[in-house]
């Protein structure tokens, strides 16, 4: 993989921070809906699927920004 420019690294870092925040927000929303007892199961399932998609993107971004260094 080619080295990232500072601009690319900054852009990916911002995306990573945004995805982490969205993931945390979804986690809180899911928890609130589940504990309220009035939530639609389909809505909860869609939110959980979105949360998993975000987690996958977070892992991708972390691998790009923090590659494994073999010592």
pLDDT in tens, the chain (71 residues): 678 899 999 999 999 999 999 999 999 999 999 999 888 999 999 999 999 999 999 999 999 998 776 65
Largest CA distance in the chain: 52
Residue 12 lies in a domain: yes
Specify the pTM: 0.86
Residue 1 lies in a domain: no
Distance, CA of 44 to CA of 27 (rounded, Å): 10
Interacting residues of 48 by C-beta distance below 8 A, sequence separation 6+:
30
Full domain range(s) for residue 42: 7-63
Distance, CA of 51 to CA of 45 (rounded, Å): 10
Residue 71 lies in a domain: no
Residue-level pLDDT at 39: 84
Residue 68 lies in a domain: no
Residue 43 lies in a domain: yes
Residue 56 lies in a domain: yes
- Name the packing angle between helices 6-36 and 41-65 (round to 10°): 160
Residue 14 lies in a domain: yes
């Amino acid at each position: 993989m080619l080295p990232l420019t500072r601009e690319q690294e900054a852009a990916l870092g911002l995306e990573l921070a945004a995805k982490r925040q969205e993931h945390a927000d979804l986690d809180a929303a899911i928890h609130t809906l589940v504990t309220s007892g009035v939530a639609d199961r389909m809505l909860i399932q869609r939110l959980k699927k979105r949360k998993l998609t975000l987690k996958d993107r977070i892992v991708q971004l972390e691998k790009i920004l923090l590659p494994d260094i073999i010592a």
